[in-house]
Structure 1
Amino acid sequence: MAASMSPEERSLCEKYSRAITLSEVESRKDPENDPFCSKYKARELLKEIHSTLRNLYAGEHDTDEGDGEQPLDGAEGELGGSACSGDSPAGLQAARLGVIEYHLGLNHVETEELSAGEEHLMNCIKLLDKYTISQENISVFIQARNQLGILWAGRDEIEKAQGFLETAESLYIRYMKEDGQPPMDLSDFFLAEEEKLSEQERTKRFEMAHTYTLYYLAQVYKNLEQFEKAGRYCHTTLQRQLEFNHFVPLEWAINAATLSQYYITKSCYMEGRHCLAAALVVAGLAGDVPSEAAAQESETESEKREQLRQKRAEIARCWIKYCLNLLQDAKKLLEDNIGELDVERQVEQKARRREQEEEKEKGLKSAILFGSSDTYDSILALEEKVSCIYPLDFEEARAIFLVGQNYVNEAKEYFEMDGHVTDHIEVLQDHSALFKALSFFEEDCERRCKMHKRRIDMLEPICLDLNAQYYLLICRQLQFELAETYYEMMDLKLVVANKQDELDAHTIKKFNHLCMSSIKYYKMFLDSVKTPDGKFPDKLEDDVLRPALVAKFRIARLYSRIISPDSGKQLENLNKSLECYCFVVEYCERNPEAKKAVETELELSEEMSGLLPLKIERLKMKMVSSN
Structure 2
Amino acid sequence: MTILKEKLSDFKEKFEEAQKLIEETKTETLEPYKNHYRAREILCELEKNLLNVSDSFKDDEDDRLTINAILGYVMKDIGKISMFVDETSLAQKYFQRTIELLEVDKNSLKIIVCFVDVLNQLGILWSKLDDVEKSKSYLLKSEETANQFKEMSKIQPLTIFDVFGTSDEIEKGKGQVSLEKTCTLTYFYLAQVFGQLGDLDTSAKYCHLTLNRQLELKDYDPVEWALNSATLSQYYFGKNMLKQSRHLLAASSYMLANFSVDLEACELLEDQRAAATENLKHRTADVDLCFAKYCMYIIKTSIERLLQEDESGTDTDAAQFKINTSCERFPLELSVYEQQVTDQFVLTYEDAKHVFLEAQSYLNKAKEYYNLDSEASQYARIIQDYASLFKHLAFFEDDTANQAKLHKRRADQLEAVQKELNPTFYLNICRELMFELGLTYSDMLDIKCEKLKFEEVQPQTLSKINKLCHKAIEKFQEFIDSYKDKKTNEIPETLDIDDYQAIGCAHFNLGRLFYKIITPDKKMQLDNTQKSLLNYKTFLNYCDKHKEVGERMKGEKGVTQSMAELLPHKIKKLMDEISQ
Q: Give runs of aligned pairs for residues 34-113 of structure 1, distance below 5 A.
A: 34-40=31-37, 42-61=39-58, 88-113=62-87
Kindly indicate whether residue 158 of structure 2 is the aligned counterpart of residue 184 of structure 1. Answer: yes
Kindly indicate whether residue 470 of structure 2 is the aligned counterpart of residue 516 of structure 1. Answer: yes
Kindly indicate whether residue 543 of structure 2 is the aligned counterpart of residue 569 of structure 1. Answer: no
Residues 471 and 29 of structure 1: CA distance in aligned 2, closer, same or farther (over 3 Å) = closer
Post-superposition CA distance 1:551-591 (Å, at most 9, x none): 22222222221122323322322222222223334454555
Post-superposition CA distance 1:274-321 (Å, at most 9, x none): 111111211234325989xx99x9333332232111111111111121
Kindly indicate whether residue 113 of structure 2 is the aligned counterpart of residue 153 of structure 1. Answer: no
User: Match for 1:96: what amino acid?
Assistant: I
User: Match for 2:426: what amino acid?
Assistant: Y
Q: How much does 1:406 deviate?
A: 0.7
SS of match in other structure, 1:499:
coil
SS of match in other structure, 2:347:
coil
Post-superposition CA distance 1:339-362 (Å, at most 9, x none): xx67965xx469xxxxx86xx53x
SS of match in other structure, 1:130:
helix
Q: Contact 1:442–1:448 (CA<8 Å) still a contact in 2?
A: yes
Residues 22 and 624 of structure 1: CA distance in aligned 2, closer, same or farther (over 3 Å) = closer
In the alignment, which residue of structure 2 is the partner of 1:322? 294
User: Match for 2:144: what amino acid?
Assistant: S
Q: Contact 1:539–1:591 (CA<8 Å) still a contact in 2?
A: no
Q: How much does 1:328 deviate?
A: 1.2
In the alignment, which residue of structure 2 is the partner of 1:77? none
Q: How much does 1:598 deviate?
A: 2.7
In the alignment, which residue of structure 2 is the partner of 1:369? 329
Post-superposition CA distance 1:521-554 (Å, at most 9, x none): 1111121233331135579741222222222222
In the alignment, which residue of structure 2 is the partner of 1:457? 412
Kindly indicate whether residue 561 of structure 2 is the aligned counterpart of residue 606 of structure 1. Answer: yes
In the alignment, which residue of structure 2 is the partner of 1:16? 15
User: Match for 1:204: what amino acid?
Assistant: V
Residues 591 and 218 of structure 1: CA distance in aligned 2, closer, same or farther (over 3 Å) = closer
SS of match in other structure, 1:183:
coil
In the alignment, which residue of structure 2 is the partner of 1:399? 354
Residues 336 and 244 of structure 1: CA distance in aligned 2, closer, same or farther (over 3 Å) = closer
In the alignment, which residue of structure 2 is the partner of 1:301? 273
Match of 1:548 among 503, 518, 540: 503
* Cα distance in 2 for residues equivalent to 1:41 and 1:536: 58
Match of 2:229 among 245, 248, 256: 256
Kindly indicate whether residue 380 of structure 2 is the aligned counterpart of residue 425 of structure 1. Answer: yes
Post-superposition CA distance 1:252-274 (Å, at most 9, x none): 11111111111122222221111
In the alignment, which residue of structure 1 is the partner of 2:107? 133
Structure 2 gap ranges (5+): none
In the alignment, which residue of structure 2 is the partner of 1:506? 460
Structure 1 stretches of 4+ with a deviation exceeding 6 A read none
Q: Contact 1:479–1:522 (CA<8 Å) still a contact in 2?
A: yes
Stretch moving more, 89-98 or 316-325:
89-98
In the alignment, which residue of structure 2 is the partner of 1:69? none
Stretch moving more, 569-578 or 34-43:
34-43
Q: Give runs of aligned pairs for residues 380-395 of structure 1, distance below 5 A.
A: 380-395=335-350
* Cα distance in 2 for residues equivalent to 1:270 and 1:415: 28
SS of match in other structure, 1:287:
helix
Residues 573 and 194 of structure 1: CA distance in aligned 2, closer, same or farther (over 3 Å) = same
* Cα distance in 1 for residues equivalent to 2:34 and 2:402: 69
* Cα distance in 1 for residues equivalent to 2:546 and 2:200: 36
Stretch moving more, 182-191 or 404-413:
182-191
* Cα distance in 1 for residues equivalent to 2:537 and 2:33: 69
In the alignment, which residue of structure 1 is the partner of 2:252? 279
Q: How much does 1:593 deviate?
A: 5.4
User: Match for 1:314: what amino acid?
Assistant: D
Residues 566 and 290 of structure 1: CA distance in aligned 2, closer, same or farther (over 3 Å) = farther
Q: Contact 2:400–2:447 (CA<8 Å) still a contact in 1?
A: yes
Q: TM (normalized to structure 2)?
A: 0.90
Q: How much does 1:187 deviate?
A: 1.9
Q: How much does 1:157 deviate?
A: 3.0
Q: How much does 1:35 deviate?
A: 4.6
Q: Contact 2:120–2:142 (CA<8 Å) still a contact in 1?
A: yes
User: Match for 1:216: what amino acid?
Assistant: Y
Match of 2:186 among 213, 237, 259: 213
In the alignment, which residue of structure 1 is the partner of 2:391? 436
User: Match for 2:329: what amino acid?
Assistant: L
User: Match for 1:51: what amino acid?
Assistant: K
In the alignment, which residue of structure 1 is the partner of 2:305? 333
In the alignment, which residue of structure 2 is the partner of 1:67? none
* Cα distance in 2 for residues equivalent to 1:178 and 1:16: 30
Match of 2:138 among 155, 164, 172: 164
User: Match for 2:296: what amino acid?
Assistant: L
SS of match in other structure, 2:485:
coil
* Cα distance in 1 for residues equivalent to 2:564 and 2:158: 81
Q: Contact 1:289–1:304 (CA<8 Å) still a contact in 2?
A: no
The number of aligned residues is: 573
Match of 1:409 among 361, 364, 382: 364
Stretch moving more, 14-23 or 242-251:
14-23
Q: How much does 1:226 deviate?
A: 1.8
* Cα distance in 2 for residues equivalent to 1:537 and 1:437: 35
Structure 1 gap ranges (5+): 63-83, 351-355
User: Match for 2:293: what amino acid?
Assistant: K
User: Match for 2:117: what amino acid?
Assistant: Q
User: Match for 2:454: what amino acid?
Assistant: K
In the alignment, which residue of structure 1 is the partner of 2:168? 194
* Identity level (%): 31
* Cα distance in 2 for residues equivalent to 1:108 and 1:21: 17
Kindly indicate whether residue 402 of structure 2 is the aligned counterpart of residue 447 of structure 1. Answer: yes
Q: Contact 2:363–2:382 (CA<8 Å) still a contact in 1?
A: yes
SS of match in other structure, 1:182:
coil
Q: TM (normalized to structure 1)?
A: 0.84
Pairwise CA RMSD: 3.0
* Cα distance in 1 for residues equivalent to 2:493 and 2:125: 49
* Cα distance in 2 for residues equivalent to 1:312 and 1:118: 40
SS of match in other structure, 2:396:
coil
User: Match for 2:158: what amino acid?
Assistant: M
User: Match for 1:163: what amino acid?
Assistant: S
Residues 19 and 549 of structure 1: CA distance in aligned 2, closer, same or farther (over 3 Å) = closer
Q: How much does 1:111 deviate?
A: 4.7
Q: How much does 1:121 deviate?
A: 2.4
Q: How much does 1:36 deviate?
A: 4.7
Post-superposition CA distance 1:350-400 (Å, at most 9, x none): 9xxxxx86xx53xx23xx112x3xxx22x2211111111111111111111
